[in-house]
């Protein structure tokens, strides 16, 4: 695992941009796994502003709420098209976002048909979730419908008018699906992520903190700002 601690959110976004832009330039047919949430917005702004050729790129998103139509302003479909896809030349047929009507098995088949994911971008939940794999998710889980935890519903209420509007379920890539990506880029910023980041990078691998499973992946690059890195070193080494 490569861990870089950078001075700010902007610096994390710059570095993530360098990594993705290099990948897209050197492997024009890259299969990307992309994330939503506030963390990758700076990355997507930079990708949208750059003159990169996305004509052969394929993209698979991590997750989507159940019950929001693709054109709903709070759906992850809408998020991805607004922040990135509408501003680059990716063919719409190369964009794959989980769809509750279609189900997890079909999404897994589409990933397999694309040859697997080359680089998966991940954010980090304050409870250590990746995608919408909440604490307790099996480490070998696949794309499926899940119930959101009370903490995630509260965390994500900031994107909605009220907590009552936050969907209670989502379709998410599983932890096993994520672990099959050939490389992973985990981004976390802000003091609210410090405990989850320390647990993920330095704690035991446990279903209680899903991101901790990334310790078992051979090619993970972690970008943290100083606030998110502030609890690193506080976990005692395993006996």
Does residue 155 have an active-site annotation?
no
Choice among 64, 108, 118, 134 that is catalytic: 134
Residue 39 near ligand GLP by CB under 6 A: yes
Task: Please say which residue, 131 or 203, places its beta carbon nearer to ligand GLP.
Answer: 131
Least distance in angstroms from the C-beta of 51 to ligand GLP: 26
Region binding ligand GLP by CB under 6 A among candidate stretches 79-87, 122-130, 204-212, 214-222: 122-130
Which residue number places its CB atom closest to ligand GLP? 123
Residue 9 near ligand GLP by CB under 6 A: no
Residues 6 or more apart whose Cβ sits within 8 Å of residue 174: 104, 131, 133, 137, 138, 140, 141, 142, 143, 144
Helix (H, G, I), strand (E, B) or coil at 100: coil
Output phi, psi for 80, to 5 deg.
-70, -40
Choice among 61, 127, 133, 156 that is catalytic: 127
Least distance in angstroms from the C-beta of 46 to ligand GLP: 16
Q: Are strands 63-65 and 31-34 parallel, antiparallel or unpaired?
A: unpaired
Residue 174 near ligand GLP by CB under 6 A: no
Q: Which of residues 62-101 bind ligand GLP (CB under 6 A)?
A: 62-63
Helix (H, G, I), strand (E, B) or coil at 207: coil
Least distance in angstroms from the C-beta of 198 to ligand GLP: 16
Half-sphere exposure of 81 (CA within 13 A, CB side): 16
Structure-block tokens of residue 26? 């050197």
Task: Please say which residue, 56 or 139, places its beta carbon nearer to ligand GLP.
Answer: 139
Does residue 129 have an active-site annotation?
yes
Contact between 141 and 175 under an 8 Å Cβ cutoff? The reply is yes
Q: Are strands 144-147 and 169-172 parallel, antiparallel or unpaired?
A: antiparallel
Region binding ligand GLP by CB under 6 A among candidate stretches 46-54, 119-127, 136-144, 228-236: 119-127
- Helix (H) or strand (E) holding 14, with range, is helix 9-26
Residue 199 near ligand GLP by CB under 6 A: no
Closest alpha carbon to 111 in 55, 164, 62:
62
Closest alpha carbon to 128 in 221, 60, 210:
210
Residue 152 near ligand GLP by CB under 6 A: yes
**Can you give the binding site for ligand GLP, defined by CB under 6 A?**
35-39, 62-63, 123-125, 131-132, 152, 156
Q: Any idea which residues carry the catalytic annotation?
A: 63, 127, 129, 134
């Amino acid at each position: 695992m490569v861990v870089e601690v950078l001075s700010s959110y902007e610096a994390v976004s710059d570095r993530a941009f360098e990594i993705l832009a290099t990948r897209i330039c050197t492997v024009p047919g890259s299969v990307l796994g992309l994330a939503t949430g506030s963390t990758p917005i700076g990355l997507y702004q930079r990708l949208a502003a750059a003159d990169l050729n996305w004509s052969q790129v394929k993209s698979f998103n991590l997750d989507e709420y159940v019950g929001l139509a693709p054109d709903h302003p709070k759906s992850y479909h809408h998020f991805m098209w607004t922040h990135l896809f509408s501003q680059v030349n990716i063919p719409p047929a190369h964009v794959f976002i989980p769809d509750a009507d279609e189900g997890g098995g079909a999404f897994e088949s589409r990933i397999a048909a694309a040859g697997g994911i080359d680089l998966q971008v991940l954010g980090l939940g304050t409870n250590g979730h990746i995608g919408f794999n909440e604490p307790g998710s099996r480490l070998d889980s696949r794309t499926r419908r899940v119930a959101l935890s009370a903490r995630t519903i509260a965390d994500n209420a900031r994107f909605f008018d009220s907590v009552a509007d936050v969907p209670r379920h989502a379709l998410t890539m599983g932890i096993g699906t994520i672990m099959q990506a050939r490389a992973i880029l985990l981004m976390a910023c802000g003091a609210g992520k410090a405990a989850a980041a320390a647990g993920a990078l330095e704690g035991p691998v446990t279903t209680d903190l899903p991101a901790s499973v990334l310790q078992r992946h051979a090619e993970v690059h972690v970008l943290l700002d100083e606030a998110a890195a502030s609890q690193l070193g506080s976990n005692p080494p395993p006996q």
